[in-house]
């Protein structure tokens, strides 16, 4: 009868598995883990026994993930990242919804609170409400007529392996108005990277993208952080709402659409309101949507 390992040992098993899966080289994994070859092999064998299937196979002395190993890896990475973030106090839940907080003293901090989708319709942002209604009316198809009024304000991503590719950046989007249209245009085709907080915390933030990709659904977050804009020295306080939507390109492939609105109207437990409002007032996006056409085929936006 298999004896289940303690939580501490399970953590080490996951570290060995995910590291070897990334390096596919036992010597490199051992060096990174500061362990021994025997220990890493034993950890993999224990996991394989627990799951009842091989996770790796050796081909010409090279480790290769089996099909079962490939299926097990994403969840193992997520469990490990969550355990590391939770142990460091970076992760919690509020009302069952994801809450993240990362502080790098003297450099920057990042706080995010997920909110229920119903709050979009209860809030003051006409852009967020318009985005949700456009998504419903267009049935998630970004080329549908009902979706077109939203296009200037969106970021569109395509999945690319474990990363995300900028597919479209709207000329009135938060990204374009923050960095400028020249950088926005040149960023199309580039990879989304530089998530804050180092590897484990960055993996948790990127997991929000995967959640939307898995469900083809919606996610609504409030965020406060500090970033550069390329024109000022140092980091500038930034507060925003973000609605992420699972959509489809005309060929039915997955498109992740993100609508971001810089605003002082955010609610993140543990972050004082004066900090949420530290962003300079001239950076607030005052987008108002006029639903003059109730069919949703045309919406007018004005400053």
Which domains occur in the chain, in start order?
7-80 (1.10.10.10), 91-302 (3.30.450.20)
- Bridge-based pairing of strands 163-169 and 97-104 is unpaired
What is the rounded distance in angstroms from the CA atom of residue 167 to the CA atom of residue 281? 30
53: CB partners within 8 A, 6+ apart: 66, 68
Phi, psi angle pair for 253, to nearest 5°: -75, 160
Q: What is the pTM of this model?
A: 0.76
List the Cα angle 244/247/250 in 5-degree steps.
Answer: 150
Q: What is the dihedral of CA 214, 217, 219, 220, to 10 degrees?
A: 170
C-alpha torsion 209→211→214→219, nearest 10? -90
Q: How far does Cα 174 stand from its chain's mean position?
A: 17
- Is residue 206 within 8 Å of 195, Cβ to Cβ? yes
Tens-of-pLDDT digits for all 303 residues of the chain? Answer: 455 555 568 889 999 999 999 999 999 999 999 999 999 999 999 999 999 999 999 998 889 999 999 999 988 887 887 777 677 666 677 778 888 888 776 667 889 999 999 999 988 899 999 999 999 999 999 999 999 999 999 999 998 877 788 999 999 999 999 888 898 888 888 887 654 444 455 666 677 888 899 899 999 999 998 887 656 667 889 999 999 999 999 999 999 999 999 999 999 988 899 999 999 999 999 887 765 543 444 444 444
């Amino acid at each position: 009868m298999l004896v289940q390992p303690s939580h501490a040992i399970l953590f080490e098993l996951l570290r060995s598995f995910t590291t070897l899966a990334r390096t596919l080289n036992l010597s490199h994994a051992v060096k990174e883990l500061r362990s021994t070859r025997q220990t890493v092999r034993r950890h993999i064998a224990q996991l394989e026994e627990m799951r009842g299937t091989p996770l790796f196979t050796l081909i010409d002395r090279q480790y290769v993930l089996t099909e079962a190993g490939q299926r097990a890896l994403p969840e193992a990475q997520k469990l490990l990242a969550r355990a590391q973030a939770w142990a460091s106090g970076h992760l919690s839940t509020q009302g069952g919804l994801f809450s993240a907080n990362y502080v790098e003293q003297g450099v920057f901090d990042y706080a995010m609170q997920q909110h229920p989708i119903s709050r979009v319709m209860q809030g003051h942002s006409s852009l967020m409400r318009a985005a949700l209604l456009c998504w419903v009316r267009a049935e998630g198809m970004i080329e549908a007529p009902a979706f077109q009024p939203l296009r200037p304000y969106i970021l569109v991503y395509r999945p690319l392996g474990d990363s995300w590719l900028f597919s479209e950046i709207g000329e009135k989007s938060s990204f374009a108005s923050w960095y400028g249209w020249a950088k926005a245009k040149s960023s199309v085709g580039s990879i989304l990277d530089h998530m804050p907080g180092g590897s484990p915390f960055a993996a948790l933030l990127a997991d929000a993208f995967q959640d939307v990709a898995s469900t083809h659904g919606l996610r609504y977050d409030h965020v406060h952080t500090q970033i550069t804009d390329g024109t000022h020295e140092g980091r500038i306080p930034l507060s925003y709402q973000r609605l992420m939507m699972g959509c489809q390109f005309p060929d039915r492939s997955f498109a992740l659409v993100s609508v971001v609105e810089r605003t002082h109207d955010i609610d993140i437990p543990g972050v004082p309101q004066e900090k949420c409002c530290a962003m300079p007032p001239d950076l607030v996006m005052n987008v108002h949507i006029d639903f003059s056409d109730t069919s949703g085929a045309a919406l007018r936006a004005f400053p």
